[in-house]
Each structure stands twice: as structure tokens, then as C-alpha cells.
Structure 1
Amino acid sequence: MEDLILMRDNPSCYLEDPIVDLSNPTFLTKDKLCGRKEEVARIESLFMQRSCNGILVSGGAGAGKSQLAYSVMARLTSQTESYFFKSKFDQTKSSIPFSTVGSVFNQLCDEFHQNATESQSTAVRIQLEAALGSQVAILADILPSLFKIMSVDSSATSSEYVDRAMNVSFTLRTFIETVSCYSRRVTFLFDDVQFTVHLNNLNIDGVNELVSQSLNTFPRITRPLALALISKTQGNPLFLHQLLESLRLHGLISFNLNSRRWIWDMDKILNLEVSDSVLTFMVEEMLQLPEELRHVLKISACLGSSIKLRAFDILAPELNVDLRDLLRQVVEKGYMLRAPGERIQFAHDKVQEAAYEMQTDTEKKTNHLNFGLILCLSVIDGDEDELFFLSMSQLNRGDMSSLPTPKRTMIAALNHKAGCRAWELSDFPTALSMHQQGIANLPDDHWSSEYDLSRKLHLSAVEASCSLNNIEVTKELAQVVVRNTRNQDDKLKVSFIASKCLLQCDQLDESREVSSAILKQMNERMKFRLEKMTNEQVLSMKLSKNQDRDKFLLDVYISLVAVMQQSKSSDRRRFPDLGLRMMEITLSNGLTPASGMAFTVLSAVFASAGKADLAYKLAKIALRLSDKFDSNRYRGRASLGLGGFVAWAKEPLRACAEIHLAGKQFADRCGDMVTSFSNQQFYIMYLFCCGTDLEKLQPLLKKQIERAMKREQHFASVSAYGVYWASQFLR
């Protein structure tokens, strides 16, 4: 009866004769998700929940995570007419920095441009410009197709930010939130994230289903074979696919022409010794391939999981091999697959890993170096970012100890170029890695023989490590620069970067010490006489003749102020001194983009002393100065100072709430999450005091509580909790 049901439900598999090339009988293991009914149902359930923003599918290598996620999400998004985009992380990091994430956002740009109405496109453009301002240009490097949606002035990008990583995160988040409001539902699939629906290996029923459908034979007949296979593969789908194909090639599974069905030699299969590791098994299988096919698999494994065919075209003449023909053969054997965009990729990560493990460590390093040198010479002067980063990845994984010093120095310079490009594309880990590789390739006496290149590499590396909040690396690199640079400004710059990194990681005492040391080196002393000036006189003041130095000096003071605001020590008593000195620098030397902060700090001093009128005047000037220089970084802080300290005594509470809402938006644009959080806190409090609809207020409170708990800001979370429960009670 069970056989009849299968014949009715799946006639192509169990009723009709299998379609087999009798000259070379082969079978195809089915793409159907065998033994995954529970996991499929769970993913479907989560997808239909509007509150679910993401699904993580985890499991061991070869368990079928990618196939499960892609098959189910492709079907669900098709049924719901949603956008569906997928991308795969390259664990060798040979591709363009940030391309894995950027590619799916770029595909969304293309689809939205193609399908959106004129009114939808206009609404998205206006909303993005309002939310991001000049920061919209940050997206242009990451998303080339953004120009299809809106015009972008790349020269207008603001270089001012507090946390570059948060800056980029905010712009991408704003982009997807804005576009998704005017388009279909959007689903992204990121494969091989490497960090939920956990995927175990198949059980006996799942293995039997896969074997049954692959051999077009009823499950009751294939069950003994399935039991033998699960004992050798532990139910790992990838291992199972590979073993079935190996059994066919060795004649242990064959097609019987008389009965027109697949048969197998059960005794030999049971006695067959199989490696207990899918990787070892695949290496053993590959070693039986012809030498030329093993060679092209080794080359491909060194280059990455997905490679442009142009890379093989560049390598082929130098290696004296017809790589295109060999690639065609490995594709026919199922080890690699054709991919869109003139690319080729491995059928599975384990296939690449097995091909890579066929080489000794010496072979790997030699191949990486040779491939890198060949590729580099062909693309160094072009604009092919992907091949350039591929060449640098190959060089950095090779053994360069045998290269002469001039060539290693040239590679160090190329690493600096690659690191700067990675920084522009907002891939800070790659930027830091490239700069560190460049430093490693410099000669021992590089601070004397290659001073300019050493200086550039170290300064760039300090900046990249600070963006990653990597304190140890930042401090170590900064100390190297301080010991070796001939430029006093470089010493001050890297010390200030280290101070910022320490502040971002809540190491307040050390941050204060570094900032104080910078001020001492700049011969800073407190000597101030407050002059009587009108608002307009301040706003029309001359600009500083030494903008960079004065802005840097004020930024150091701002960093110290931030330390004191977060510190519980007696350092806060120096707050007035810092504010007065910042004001003196501004009034004596002229205006810079940071000058508004002098008025903000001094405003807080006078507010705490009960001088509300003067404090309000200074806070308003601070905001106007920030507007004058169009500085998101300082606007957010000026808004916080105005609304948080004095505006409540002079303006309606609703107006104060609007000040903080604008301040949060400015802070978000430059990645200043501390100022953003504080502005949002005041915004919610003022809304509550204004009697805002509590149903609208409670979601904001919940989100603020979550942010406070993540940042371990217990006082803020307690105050937000208090307002939340008060709103619950009042309802």
C-alpha cells in the first residue's frame, strides 16, 4: 500500500522508468529537502511572523544549511511576492571588502529602480536626503546602483564622525528601512556567516528518503542500504552525496539493464572502509583524479570559493595551461559550478577545503605568492577592485621571505593602497589587516629607509584599529608612531586617536591621562577673561587662521569633557576650567567647526550655577554655530546641551522634545551612539511630560530600555523603566 501511495504522489520517481544514459549510467542525488519537515515548518512559521526580523540556520559542515535556507526562503518569498537576495561570505576574504553585504543592498537598488513608481522613487529620495543629509554619499561607494535611485554628490561626504563603523551601520540601516517602506517585503540570505534553527545530520528516515529518490527505488527496498550508509556517514548530507557517487564510480552501485533499475553489492558496501571525516574522504577521492584536474582544483582552492573567470585567463598564459578547458571538466564532474557574472564557484565549502588540503603548506604558500604576483602585475594600474584585492590576498598568504627588499617594499605600498580602499568601502577589519601586512613587509630599518611609507601605514593602521575599538592594537601602534615619527603633529594625532578609543571602551582614567598629556605637550594653560559679546558678534567672528590645529585642540578638550561626564570621580570639578579654556581658544583664535562645543560646555557650567539666562544664550549660540559649519557631529551634542540643560526653562516642552529628536538624527548620521542615546532619552521624557499618547510612547520606551541594557547604562535603563511603568499605570 505504501508503494502505491508513492507511485501516485511521485510518479516520475517510482512509477516511470528512470531516464538513464545507458552508455554511462549515472544518477542525480535529489535537491529535495529529505528528512527536514520539522525544520521547514519552523522556518515557515517564523517567516510569517511579522515580528521576526531574522532567522539563523546553524549546524555542522555539510548538514545542508545553505540548501535548506535557500530552498525554503526562495519558495516563501515567491509566494508572498517579496524581494529575495542572497550572498555568500568568502572565508578566504579574497573578494572586494564589504562586497558580501554590499551586493545584496546593491541588488535591492536595481530591483527597486526597475519596479518602483515615480512617486515611490521620489518619496525614497526625499526621505533618504532628509535622514542622512551629506552622509548619503557614504552609500555611493558601497552601493554603485544608488545613483539609479537618486543623484549623489560624492564630494559632499562629511569626513566628521565619532564612530565610523556605527556611522556606516546607521546609513545602511536607514537605507533598508526607507526602501522597504515603499517596496515589497525584503528578505536577505547571507550564507556562511560562521558564528535559530539548528540543523542536525539526517536520521535514518531522512537518509532513506534521499537514497530512495536518488535511485528511483521504493524506500522499503533501499532501507538496508540506507542503514549501511548512515553508519559510514553519520547522516551528513554532503558526505552521503559524495559516498553515493563514489560507490557508483567503483561499481558497487550500478544500473541493471535487464531489470532497468539500480542495484548494489550490499556485502562489499558493508565491508568497505570509509574515512570517518567527509574532508578526508573527499581528499582521497580527489587524489584519484587525473593530475591536470587536481592541478586546476588546487589553483581554484587557493583563489577562493567564488572566482571571476578573468582571473584564470590572466593566470593561464603564465602557467602554460588551458584553465578554461580544465574548469569545464571539473564542472562536469560536479566539483565546481558555473555562476552568474562570468564566475565559477565550488559546489560546497568542503570541496574547496578538500582541494586546498591536497597541497603541502610549502606548496600553498608558493602558489599564493606566484598567483598574487601574476595577478598584481596585470591589474595594478586598472580599476578592477575585485582582482586587485584578490591579488593582495594571494600575496599576503604567500611566503615573501625569499623576495628581495625592493619587491617586498613595493608590496607594502600596495597593501597601503588596498587598506585605504578597504577603509573607503567601510571594511575596517580588512583595512587594518592590509595595513598590518604592509608594515610586516617593510625592511627592518624602515623608519629610516622608508620613512614616508612607514608613517602612512602606521597612521592608517591606528585609525582602522580605533574604528574596531581594538584598544591593544591602537595603543601599540600609537606608541610606535610616537617613538619614531619626526612630526610632532603625528604624535599628537595618534595619541588623540588612542584617547578616543579608550573613551569608547569606557577606560576613562587612561583616556583622561592621554588627553591631559596632549594638552601639556601643546603648552595649554588656563587664562581666560569672559568678554561681553552679542550673539551676532559671536556668529560673525573671523575664522581661525589655523583651523586644523584649533579644531584638534578643541576636540581634545571635548574628549576630556566626555570622560568627566561619564566619570564618578572628583574630576568633574575641572569642568568649568575646561569650558573657560575652550571659550578662550575660540574668542582668541577665531571660529572652527568645533567652536560651538565651547559654548555648549560653558552653558552647562552656568546652568549648574543657576544662571539660566546666560546658559540659554550660550546654548543657542552653540547650536547656531554648529549649523553655520553644517557639522552633524557637533549639532547632535549642541542639541543635547540646549535641550537637556536649559531649554526646558525657556521653551515649551514640546519644542524641547523636537530639539532632542533633531539632535538624535544628527548624532546617528555621524555614528555618535552615546549622544544619540542621550538625546533619545530626553526626547522620550519630554514627550511623556507633554502627555503624548501612551500607546505611541511605549514602543519607544521599550527600545530605549533595550539600548540602555546593551550599553550597561543602568541609571538610564531604570529611568526608562520608571516612565514605562508609569505610562502603563496611567493607561
Structure 2
Amino acid sequence: MCGNPSTTPDNIGSNKGAADAKDNLLPTKQMSGTAAEELPVLKSEAYRSAGVAPQLKTLVDAESEEKDEKIKLPTFGRHSSMPRTGIESRYRCSPICNKLYDREAQEKQLLEAYHRRTRQANTKKAASELVIITGKSGQGKSHLARSLRPRVEQDGGFFITGKFNQLHSQLRPFAALEDAFRELMQQLKSRPEQTFQAMQARVTEAVGSEAAILAESFPSLRQLLSVQQELGKPESSVDNAQENGTAATDTEKPPDAQRRIALSFVRFMRAISCHHSIVWFLDDMQWTDQGSLALIEATIQQYANSSGLDGEEGPSHGATLSSGLMCLGSCRGNEVAVDHPLSVMLRGIEDSEDCTITDIRVGNLGKQALCDMVADLLMIPPSQECEQMVELIYKQTQGNALFTLHLLRSFQEDGSLFRNLHGDWDWNAGAIAARLVERDTASSDSEESLVSLLANKVRQLPTETQEILKVASCLGVEFHRDVLSKAARASLPQVLSVLKVASDLEFAVYDEQERKGQWVHDKHIEATQSLIPENEKAALHLQIAKNLAEEATPDEFSTNLLLIVNHSINGSEAIEVEDCRLKLAGLCLEAGRRIAKGSAFSAACCYFETGISLLGDGLWGDQYDLSLHLHNAAAEMAFIGGDHAKTERMVNAITQNARRFEDVLQAYKTQLLCFMSRERHEEAISLGCKVSGQLGQQFPKKVGPIGLVMDLLKTKRVLRRIDDEEILKLPPMTDFRAIGLMSIIHVMYGSLIISNVMAAPLVGFRLVRLTVRYGLSPLSSIGFGIYASVLGRLGLVEPAARYGQLALRLMEKFPLSGASPKTLCTVWGDALPASVSYRNCVDPIVESHRLGISRGATHVAMIAAFVHCAMTLVIGAPLRTLERLIVQYKHECYEYGQLFMVDMLKITLQGCRNLQSTGLVYLTGSAMVEEEMLEKVANHSTGFLWLHQIKYLLAVYFNEYEYADSLTPVIRKNMRSVVLPFTGTVQTFLQGLVSAVLAEKSRKQHRVARKRLTELKKAAKVNPDSLQNKVCLLEAELARVSGDVDSAVAKFEESIQLAHAEGYLQEQALACERAGRMLLSHQREVDAVRYLATAKKLYREWGVADRKVEQLDRLLTTKAVRISRAEEKLAKLIIGGQEATPLNPSSLALGEEENPHE
């Protein structure tokens, strides 16, 4: 009758062991195909195998054994959101908690992938990798993944887990990622304090001003991100919609919002994994939400580029052999269709050159592995009788470990599996066979059979208990006991009693400290929900929402808003009262706005669309205002998400149904931004002109020089009637038409700069006049900044400085405005450099970049980055410093998708590298190929001009004056497109120098040199710190041409001293070189050698190429001159590459006696 062989305690371990084991089925090997796949990830050792094998309860005392002979399965939950304390201690004694069955090949694959990620993390171009474990439910995917935990912890790393939830993927956007980060914070607390502090410092450095964005989406990271309170956020129509349907002024380019959160997330992941290996396990990826999927894809795609782009060394924190990020996921492959978002993402990763996917497939256990698992569970050696029972079980479960465990438990419950007189497990083979035949008749599918088995267990419970469990199954994987109490309209003792029953059944675990329950496995939820009749599900969801809303205080309602709204949506079919549907539509708007703040744009759009669908006959009728707000919000979210078709549908609905023009204004703005993001600039300008006309001010699509001057004069006349202090005291702008006009005109500016640059200054003029007439707006500072820059380009330096300073004062009136970055960049990069030392402009430009990043104006931030690089080049910073700066900014431009700025920085970078290495004028090297770049910028005059300006600078410093002169016509022709006025001033100086050098051969060049000198003198009157040294150098060259050597030397001296005072290394060196060349030509060898020695020293300090030094050496060796011994010795020092002690520029006057110490 009994199938158990005659075994002795020695075979098993001991009688005492059997007694201690009591009636518990002990955990088996970490079987990759087990119910324990869904175990909650408790701390390290408790669930280091993490997955498939059931973690059965540990030994209990003999006294309790006498009272309860029931076999208890382990509480195997895999959900990371459950706190790790209080539960894990029950399983640490399990003798098989670290076993895996029939998973040797998969274990090897997993470990090899881990080694690839951690051991290659510090290589310059380690490919990014996604390891994904696929299989059906209950086959041990999660258990296999968690088998890696001990190795990771042994290496000092972190194994963090998040699980996606089928029930509420839109309810808690980023929930799985947040769960993983919560676990990271818990693990960090168990490490030494210095570990946390070091990681916090790296995160702060990497994320910078974007920390607030991450903290909004992932609250558990606030401490690690050093975010103590909410910071200013870019304004949005979703969050700041006014009653008339327009939005507060918004200077952010919306598509950047999604890119910003992704980029911030990637930087964070790089920072936490650069000194510690991080295994980031995401369970049940078939249920991932769109927002999380986007961040996962960004991390995998961009992590490979953390060490460099284009072969360049990027920002690094010194990764070690045990560092690196391993992205590990699991999914039910049979539930992922070809068009599933996860499938689309995986195909995108496969197509990437720098990313790979490792697919680890698991299936059910084989018969032998299943036999080993059962034998270990029953603590008996494998035997023929055991194999016979397993043969029967295998036919039913097909080797599914989770099903097998529950089946064994059911055998015990019906008496087929029991303990004999020796305390060993025994069974009735005939009864088991009969039961299995009966179950096999009911269903041939193992998963359906498992659900049926679990559902039957619930059916045997009291009706009241069943009803509370049904409600709990609707609340998701994890639920708070108080929420369950309110949702089920049950008392707290009732809820605790039900949770105790669920715990005894091994359906759920309850943590008293956190007061939270957690389902052990998705199949338990599925089985419980299968007891809810299909036609009653909507009503149950609606009743849950109603109970939660009615029982909630205002604070509780706010806390549970998304939960209430989600259940209301799921139960919307059961709503019979129209007012209830309308109220739910309003709640959808509120819920969408809330999660939009956390950057869950796709989920927010779903809420807005749901709200629209709920309005029914009230759409654009009785519920006009709500319809307007929902459509505006949905249009913006669709635009941010890149769904242009949906954006246009929403905008069209607004334009067709709006009752007032002001109601359609926000929609027009969204459409205008949509055109711009798709490079449809002509359509954007046309729409902007149309809307501005409807707002009462015509904006011309095209304008010529005369029209531009007329508009400028009109603005000047307006400003004559009001002084600066009066402007600062103007009241805030309140007229909605003026506010709308300011916003539309400002948004147009981006398209005008690209498609119709002649009309771009009109934006500044109109913003200024609107400010004077209607009052102050955050955009007023941008208007005065543009106006100041136009005046500066026209040579009206003093008015430009005046209105530039006024723009800065206006900016201070709106300190949190998104206009601040653009104002700073326009004023300090364009208007003020004509009157302020270039060096003093650097810090405000850096601040513009910082604010642009933190406030979402990333396009402005990248412009500021380029201005910073150009300014750094002009002020003569060491070239190596400049190169590092350009590489850093180029990475940012790549990441933010600002590809034109990438090209501008590539041109600058190649010029910088040529100065340091090749000394060639031809701009081809590691950063770019000149022919390819010329083709890219052929239709963009700004980029075309900048490329030729860099080539001109190289030609000057490597003495290729005739080649430089050949570039002059091209540069002069495109000077209207000069990207920055201060670079145009430097260009004037360089052209004057080239013409002066060539003046001996051409009177025309002499005239050109004098003309450039006149222009430069005029500019130097208002900015002598930046320009006077250049004036003196041109005067020296012209004195040289006229034959007045002494005057030339004096001017060279003055130029050297002025350049030294400002720290202009390159212009000090250039002046010394030009003075030395002149003196050599006049046989004043000793003084020439002194100047050339100083030039050589300064060039090397600047970081210029050896080619330049070789030019100076050849200059000396090819001159047929007579040099005294002392002079010859000094010349040899220079020619031989030794460092002759350079003279202080102030002591280089001719005729002084030679210093004997030199």
C-alpha cells in the first residue's frame, strides 16, 4: 500500500532531524523550474538562489509537531517590494535553499555573462548587454536569476530586484525600478557609512542638477541624490493650465523632457556601478510599462558609450574589475507577441552595434531532476518507489516545479502523503494515482491545472474569507492592510485573520512591521481572481474604488488617488450614473498630471485619453472646460512621447471645437513645437505668423534689411520714452493676448534662426515693445537680451551693454523662470563681450549651461556649452584643458540629441587637436573628416563659417599666411552668419595680422591691414582688456612694414605685456614670435633669440604641436647670420630643444646687457 521504501533515520539524517522537520516539506535544490521562482527577494542568504525552488518553512520544535501534522509549503514570494526583515529568518536553516535542479548549462551562461559585464567594465569600449531569462510561469526563471546573488555579494556588489505587476502597470509607473532602488538603499544601509558617502558623491557629480528629476520619479533615492526638497521644475501646460486653457510661460522644448529623464537615469546607473558591480534584475518584463521600458532601453543602449564616443575617453570614475552594470531580466516568452513593446525593444537592441542580448531559456524539469527534487523535499534517497510516484506526478505537472510543490501539498492534505510511525514521509501510491487520473481528465494544460488546484483551495475557505482575498487579489502584488480593510469594508481583525489564513495556505506573506501583505506568486493572484465571475469583475473594481474614496480622509484620498482612479477605470463599465463618469474624467486629469510630474508621460497620456472617452455626450458640451484641459494635456504628453499623429488629432479636436480664440492658444503652441521638432520650420513660422496676427500683431514671414531697420527704429523710439528704472517697476503682464503673443513669438525664434535668420531679431524687438506696453513677463529678459545682442552686432556697444545689463536685472525678477538660461547665454555670449573682458564672461556662460540642464532648456544649455568652448579658445586656455572640455560637452550634445551643436564642437575639437599634434590646416582627424563636415554644413552658413574660421586660425599660428588670405573672401562673405560676435572681432584681428604680414608684397594688403586696425581700435575703446593687446600687435606689424623697427619693438613689447596681464598665452607667444622674426630680418640676432626662446616656452605652455617649435628651430638654422659665442650657445639651446630660460616680457627691451645666469 505504501510507496515509501524502508528507510532508516540514518538514510535521511536522523530521527531528530525528521522530528524537527516536523510536517514541513523542506526546500529543494534551487531548482530553476520551481514555485519558488516567485519568492520575495529576502536578504542575501535567505534567497540568494532567488527563484524557482520552493523555500519551505524551516524546522519547528517537536511540541508544535504533536499539535499539527500538516505539511507547510514555503512562503516563496519573489517580489522585491516586501521588506526583507522579519521573514527571511524562517528560511535560513533550509538545507536545500541553495540548490538548483537541472540548470547547470543555464547557470554557466549566467555566470559567464556576469563576468563579462564586471571584468570588462573598465575597458574603453565594452559592449552593453541584456541578459534575459525566458520560460513559462513556474519554471524557475527568477530562482535561476537569484542564484547569482551570493557571487555578487561576495564581490562586494549589489543584487537589486524589481518586479513588474500585471494588474497595475499604469497605476505605478516605474514601480519595478523604484522597488529595485528601494532595495539598493536597504543594502547600502547595511554597508559601512563611507560606502554610502562615496556612492552619494559619485551620483551627485554624475547627475548634477538633474537630481530633482530623478527624485520626483524615484522617491527612495532622495537621500542618495542629496535632494531634500522639491526644486523648481520647468513649467508645463499639464501642471499649470490656466482657466482659459492657456499655460504659464514655458521656455522648455518639450521633447527634451523624455530625453532628460532617460539621460539622468543612465548617468545615475553609471555612477552607482562604477565602483561596485550592480546586478539589476527585473522580473516579469512582459508586463513592463512604457516609461520603464524606455529607461531600460536607454540604459542598455547608452551604457556602452560611457567610456567614450568616437574613440574618445569620456567621463569615468575609475571602474575596477569588480565594477559594472549587469542588466538581467526575466519574461514569459509564451506571453510576448511579435508586436509587444518588449519585442520591439529587443529588436532595437539587437540592431545596435554596441549592444548584445544573451537569451537564457529554461523549461520544465526532466523526470530525473524532478525525482531528485521530490526526494530532497521528503528527505529520502531516490528509490524505485519514489521514481514511480514522480512518474505519475510528471504526467500531470510536465515537470513544472511550482505545480509539483502544490500538488504534493494537496496529497498531504487529502491524506495520500503522510508521516509513518518512524516520522518519515510515506504515501499511498494507489490514492495518488487515482487523484492524478481524475485531475488529468479535468485539464491537460499544466498551468490551467495549477490555477484550478489553487482555486479549489480558496473555494474551501469560508465565504467571508474568500471575498476579502478576492479584493486583495485586485489590489496587486503588494497591499497595505489598512487599504485592504477599507477596500473590502472589513474590520482590521478580520483582515489580519484572513492574512493569517493566506499565510498558512502559503498564498501570501504578511510583514507586521511594515503592515503589508504580499502575494507569493502570480498564480495565487490568478487563481483567486478566477473565482470572480467575469460579469461581476467591473462591479467589484468599482466597489473597491467607492469604498476607498468614502472611507478616506483628504490626505488618504490624495495618497491613494491613483489606486482609486485605476479601480474606477477598471469598473467604468458598471457606472450607471452619468455624474459619476464625469467625476471620474476629472480624476483622470488629476491623476495624469500627478504622474506627469514624475516623468511618466506615456502613462499620463493614457489617463488623459481615458478621461476624454468617459465624457461621452458631455464632450465639448456641458463639460467644455474639462474637455479642453484633457485634450491640451493629452496633446502635450503625446508630443513629448514623440507620437506626432496623436498630437495632431488632439490639436485638431481643440481647433475645431474651441469657443474662444484664447482656448486654442495652447494647442497652437504645442503644434508649433511639433513642427519644429520635425524640422518643419517653414510651417512653424507660417503658423506662428498666423497666430500672432490673430492675437493682434502681424509678424512678417519675410523681412529685408529696410524692414528690419524700420522695426529697430520703432523699438528705439518706444524705449526713448521710458528709462531703465521705470521698466523695472512695470507691473506683471496680465493681458492674456499679450502673454500668448510673447509665448508664440518666442517659440518661433528657434525656427527663424534656422530658416529665416534675417527675421530673427524681430522677435527681440516685439518682446521689448510688448513688455513696455503690457508689463513684465519672464520672457521680457530674453527680449531685451536679443535687442542688446542686435545693437552689439551693429557696433552700438554702449547701448548693447546698457540693455544687456537691464536684461539681467529683469531676469532676477523671475529667478525660477525657464527664461534665465537663454537670457544669460544671449547677454554674456553675444551682447556683453563687446564691452566686458572675455575672461569675465566665462562664469556666467557656465551658469547658463547649468541652469539650462536643470530647467529643461537643454537646447540653450548646449549652445552655452559651445560658447564656453569658443570663449576658452579665445582666452588662451591650455589646449589640453580645452580638449577635455569639448569632449565633455560633445558627449552631452550627443545624449541630448543636439546634433548641430555636436558638429560645431567637432569642428572646434579637430582644430584643437591639430594645434596640439599635426599642425595641419586640413581639418581631418579623430574628430571629423573635413569633406564630410563641409557637406553637412553646406546649407548652414553658421557651421560653414565656423569651420573656415578654425582653418584660418590654424593657418595664422602655423605661418601659412597666404593660405589664410585665400580663405578671407569666403569668411567675409558669410560674416553676417557669425555665430558669436566676439569670434568675429578676433577674426578681424587675425585678418589684419595676415594682411600686415603680406603688406610688403601688396599695397592692397597694407590698406586692408589699416582698415582692420581701425575697426579693432574702435572695438578696443570699450573693451581694452580683451582687445588692446591685439591693437598693439597690429600696430607693431605696420610699423615693421614701414621700416620703423624701434617703434615696432615697443609695440610688440606693449602687446606682450597686455596679453600677459589677461593670460592670453597664444597671443603672447604670437607677439614674441613676430618680434623675433622681425629682429632676425634686421640682423639683431641676440634680441631675436630671446624673443623666440620666450615664444617657444609659451607655445609649449599653451600645448601647441611640435611642428610649431620645429618652425622656430628651422628659422634659426636657415639664417646665415654671424653670432658670437654667447649668442651661438643660446641658439643651440633653442635649436636642440633644451629650455632656454625665457625672459620676462617686461625685460625684453633691446640693448640690455645679457644676464650672466642665462
TM-score, structure 2 as length reference: 0.50
Check if 1:156 corresponds to 2:232: yes
Aligned counterparts, 1:165-564, within 5 A: 165-181=258-274, 184-194=276-286, 195=342, 196=358, 197-221=360-384, 222-257=386-421, 260-265=424-429, 267-268=433-434, 271-274=437-440, 275-285=443-453, 286-287=455-456, 288-292=459-463, 293-317=465-489, 322-339=494-511, 341-379=514-552, 381-382=554-555, 387-400=560-573, 402-501=575-674, 504=677, 506=678, 508-509=679-680, 512-513=682-683, 516-523=686-693, 524-525=699-700, 526-527=702-703, 528-529=707-708, 549-559=741-751
How much does 1:118 deviate?
6.5
Bigger mean CA deviation after superposition, 204-213 or 625-634: 625-634
Q: Which AA in structure 1 matches 2:156?
A: E
> For residue 716 of structure 1, what is the aligned residue in structure 2?
none
How much does 1:66 deviate?
1.7
> For residue 861 of structure 2, what is the aligned residue in structure 1?
636
For residues 560-597 of structure 1, give each alpha carbon's deviation from its aligned partner in whole angstroms, at most 9, with x where no partner exists: 76xx6xxxxxxxxx443454544554665576576699
Kept in 2: contact 1:600–1:622 (CA 8 A): yes
Aligned with 2:543: secondary structure? helix
Change in CA separation of 1:348 and 1:127 when aligned onto 2, cut-off 3 Å: closer
Change in CA separation of 1:445 and 1:300 when aligned onto 2, cut-off 3 Å: same
Aligned with 1:55: secondary structure? strand
Distance 2:594 2:826 in 1: 44
Bigger mean CA deviation after superposition, 14-23 or 484-493: 14-23
Distance 1:479 1:558 in 2: 23
> For residue 44 of structure 1, what is the aligned residue in structure 2?
111
Kept in 1: contact 2:510–2:517 (CA 8 A): yes
How much does 1:232 deviate?
2.3
Kept in 1: contact 2:15–2:422 (CA 8 A): no
Aligned with 2:466: secondary structure? helix
For residues 680-706 of structure 1, give each alpha carbon's deviation from its aligned partner in whole angstroms, at most 9, with x where no partner exists: 75576456545589xxxxxxx89x9xx
Q: Which AA in structure 1 matches 2:860?
A: R
Kept in 2: contact 1:515–1:559 (CA 8 A): yes
Aligned with 2:460: secondary structure? coil
> For residue 696 of structure 1, what is the aligned residue in structure 2?
none
> For residue 576 of structure 1, what is the aligned residue in structure 2?
757
Kept in 1: contact 2:15–2:423 (CA 8 A): no
Change in CA separation of 1:137 and 1:552 when aligned onto 2, cut-off 3 Å: farther
For residues 465-503 of structure 1, give each alpha carbon's deviation from its aligned partner in whole angstroms, at most 9, with x where no partner exists: 222222232222221122223353442432332454466
Change in CA separation of 1:259 and 1:638 when aligned onto 2, cut-off 3 Å: closer
Q: Which AA in structure 2 matches 1:297?
A: L
Change in CA separation of 1:649 and 1:312 when aligned onto 2, cut-off 3 Å: closer
Q: Which AA in structure 2 matches 1:620?
A: G
Distance 2:371 2:193 in 1: 50
For residues 280-306 of structure 1, give each alpha carbon's deviation from its aligned partner in whole angstroms, at most 9, with x where no partner exists: 223432234235243233222222122
Change in CA separation of 1:45 and 1:646 when aligned onto 2, cut-off 3 Å: same
Distance 1:592 1:666 in 2: 29
Give % identity: 18
> For residue 166 of structure 2, what is the aligned residue in structure 1?
91
For residues 428-458 of structure 1, give each alpha carbon's deviation from its aligned partner in whole angstroms, at most 9, with x where no partner exists: 2221122222222224134232232222222
Distance 2:500 2:548 in 1: 22
How much does 1:372 deviate?
0.7
Distance 2:182 2:760 in 1: 46
Change in CA separation of 1:318 and 1:264 when aligned onto 2, cut-off 3 Å: closer
How much does 1:618 deviate?
9.7
Of 168, 174, 181 in structure 2, the residue corresponding to residue 105 of structure 1 is 181
Kept in 2: contact 1:316–1:322 (CA 8 A): no
How much does 1:269 deviate?
5.7
Distance 1:8 1:600 in 2: 94
Kept in 1: contact 2:481–2:517 (CA 8 A): yes
Kept in 1: contact 2:592–2:604 (CA 8 A): yes
Aligned with 1:132: secondary structure? helix
How much does 1:143 deviate?
3.9
Check if 1:26 corresponds to 2:71: yes
Distance 1:264 1:391 in 2: 50
Distance 2:160 2:406 in 1: 29
Structure 1 unaligned spans of 5+: 565-573, 607-615, 694-700, 705-731
Aligned with 1:87: secondary structure? strand
Bigger mean CA deviation after superposition, 239-248 or 103-112: 103-112
Kept in 2: contact 1:495–1:514 (CA 8 A): no
Distance 2:739 2:885 in 1: 28
> For residue 62 of structure 1, what is the aligned residue in structure 2?
138
Kept in 2: contact 1:412–1:439 (CA 8 A): yes
For residues 225-245 of structure 1, give each alpha carbon's deviation from its aligned partner in whole angstroms, at most 9, with x where no partner exists: 333323322222222223332
Distance 2:507 2:363 in 1: 24
Distance 2:577 2:744 in 1: 41
Change in CA separation of 1:278 and 1:516 when aligned onto 2, cut-off 3 Å: farther
Change in CA separation of 1:317 and 1:60 when aligned onto 2, cut-off 3 Å: closer
Structure 2 unaligned spans of 5+: 24-64, 75-95, 121-127, 236-251, 287-341, 343-357, 694-698, 772-778, 795-824, 833-840, 919-925, 929-1158
Change in CA separation of 1:350 and 1:111 when aligned onto 2, cut-off 3 Å: closer
Distance 1:683 1:341 in 2: 57
Kept in 2: contact 1:233–1:276 (CA 8 A): no
Kept in 1: contact 2:785–2:827 (CA 8 A): no
How much does 1:673 deviate?
5.6
Aligned with 1:631: secondary structure? helix
Distance 1:224 1:688 in 2: 76
How much does 1:518 deviate?
3.4
Kept in 2: contact 1:379–1:388 (CA 8 A): no
Check if 1:621 corresponds to 2:830: yes
Aligned counterparts, 1:643-722, within 5 A: 657=883, 660-661=886-887, 663=889, 674=899, 685=910, 688-689=913-914
RMSD: 4.6
Larger Rg: 2
Kept in 2: contact 1:637–1:675 (CA 8 A): no
Change in CA separation of 1:169 and 1:448 when aligned onto 2, cut-off 3 Å: same
**Would you say how many aligned residue pairs link Structure 1 and Structure 2?**
661
